[in-house]
């Protein structure tokens, strides 16, 4: 095993440091996405990476727009540690990942290398949330199904310093243990929870990762699971295909039951609460039913930064309360 990577500490007033010991659960903080498209783009990334990198900005702009219009999310990725790559070293072929099917309970992951980055625009974006990956395979023949999970770790320094300071060492060390399964990626949201990561194909979005947790996340995803240790409120941000209140309800029930299987729970909104919250029903495949209220709370007493680029604001989190059980 290689020597542990030195882990620098974020600044005392950084967003991740302010939130490091927070009692609030991270549930419900995953950026919603019914599918993911991750395209390799080595070298530096700007604040708006899809149009501020060495990728043709027209391709990046169109990719971001088409994904968003269809309910998905586009990311750029690069091999761990290659953010200083020189322009002349850019590869002739780029790795592409397409993850879909999560809303149907049957997540799938495609991967392959493409020569022209513009080929990503051939994807049938309106089909990617569905259970059948065939349209994507037909549209981009370089892609193939894979059973090997992938972890994308946010390291976009121009978006937030904490993602780079904490994310890069984590990605490098985890990548040395699971080669070809860990990539650096652009902004995924939730800087305050750095190091953050998204696991494909499940879309499980994770907070405050360690190397051990990153490896667990990958191994669990191969079984269609989140990972038992990752069910903890400080680590499990949510399954991205669900809206935030449903992510919080799903996370609360998973933690209560110790249920890591992504497909074991079905979650739906069934009403509203008198205090402005959402009433959510979560049903386990074995028939157990949980009804919870989910309310967004604001901690006025302990304002914190949500990003290193903004000032402190009342801390928001989701409060989940069981109803009648």
- pLDDT per residue over 122-137, tens digit each? 999 999 999 999 999 9
Q: Which helix (H) or strand (E) holds 69?
A: helix 57-69
**164 lies in some domain:** yes
Total structural domains within the chain = 1
**69 lies in some domain:** yes
Interior CA angle at 53 toward 47 and 57, to 5°? 100
Q: Which domain holds residue 148?
A: 15-242
Q: Are 18 and 208 in contact (CB under 8 A)?
A: no
* Confidence class for position 238, pLDDT limits 50, 70, 90: very high
pLDDT of residue 15: 45
**252 lies in some domain:** no
pLDDT of residue 314: 61
**Three-state secondary structure call for residue 74:** strand
The average confidence (pLDDT) of the chain is 87
**227 lies in some domain:** yes
Q: Are 113 and 146 in contact (CB under 8 A)?
A: no
pLDDT of residue 194: 73
Q: Tell me: the pLDDT tens digits for 253-297?
A: 999 999 999 999 999 999 998 888 899 999 999 999 999 999 988
**127 lies in some domain:** yes
The position carrying tokens 């750095």 is 194
Secondary structure tally for the chain: helices H, strands E: 6, 14
Q: Which helix (H) or strand (E) holds 318?
A: strand 313-322
**195 lies in some domain:** yes
**267 lies in some domain:** no
Average pLDDT over residues 157-183: 81
**286 lies in some domain:** no
Q: What is the CATH number of the domain that holds 102?
A: 3.40.30.10
CA distance 154 to 171: 9
Q: Which helix (H) or strand (E) holds 39?
A: strand 36-40
What is the value of pTM for the model shown?
0.89
């Amino acid at each position: 095993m290689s020597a542990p990577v030195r882990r620098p500490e974020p600044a005392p007033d950084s967003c991740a440091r302010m939130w490091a010991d927070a009692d609030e659960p991270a549930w419900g903080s995953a950026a919603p996405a019914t599918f993911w498209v991750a395209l390799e783009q080595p070298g530096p990334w700007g604040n708006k990476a899809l149009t501020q990198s060495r990728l043709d900005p027209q391709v990046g702009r169109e990719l971001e727009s088409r994904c968003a219009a269809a309910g998905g999310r586009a990311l750029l990725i690069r091999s761990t540690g290659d953010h200083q790559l020189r322009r002349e070293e850019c590869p002739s072929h780029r790795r592409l990942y397409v993850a879909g099917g999560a809303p149907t309970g049957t997540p799938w992951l495609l991967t392959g290398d493409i020569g022209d980055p513009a080929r990503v625009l051939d994807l049938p974006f309106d089909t990617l949330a569905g259970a059948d990956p065939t349209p994507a395979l037909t549209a981009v023949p370089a892609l193939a199904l894979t059973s090997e999970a992938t972890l994308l770790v946010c390291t976009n320094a121009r978006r937030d310093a904490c993602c780079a300071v904490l994310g890069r060492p984590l990605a490098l060390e985890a990548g040395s243990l699971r080669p070809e399964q860990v990539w650096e990626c652009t902004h995924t949201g939730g800087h305050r929870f750095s190091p953050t990561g998204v696991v494909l194909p499940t879309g499980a979005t994770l907070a405050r990762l360690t190397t051990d947790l990153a490896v667990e996340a990958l191994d669990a995803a191969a079984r269609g699971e989140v990972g038992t240790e990752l069910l903890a409120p400080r680590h499990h941000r949510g399954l991205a295909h669900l809206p935030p209140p449903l992510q919080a309800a799903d996370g609360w029930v998973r933690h209560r039951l110790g249920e890591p299987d992504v497909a074991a729970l079905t979650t739906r909104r069934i009403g509203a609460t008198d205090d402005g919250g959402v009433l959510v029903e979560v049903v386990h495949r074995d028939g157990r039913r949980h009804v919870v209220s989910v309310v967004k709370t604001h901690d006025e007493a302990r304002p914190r930064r949500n990003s290193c680029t903004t000032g402190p604001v009342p801390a928001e989190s989701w409060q989940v309360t069981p109803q009648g059980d």
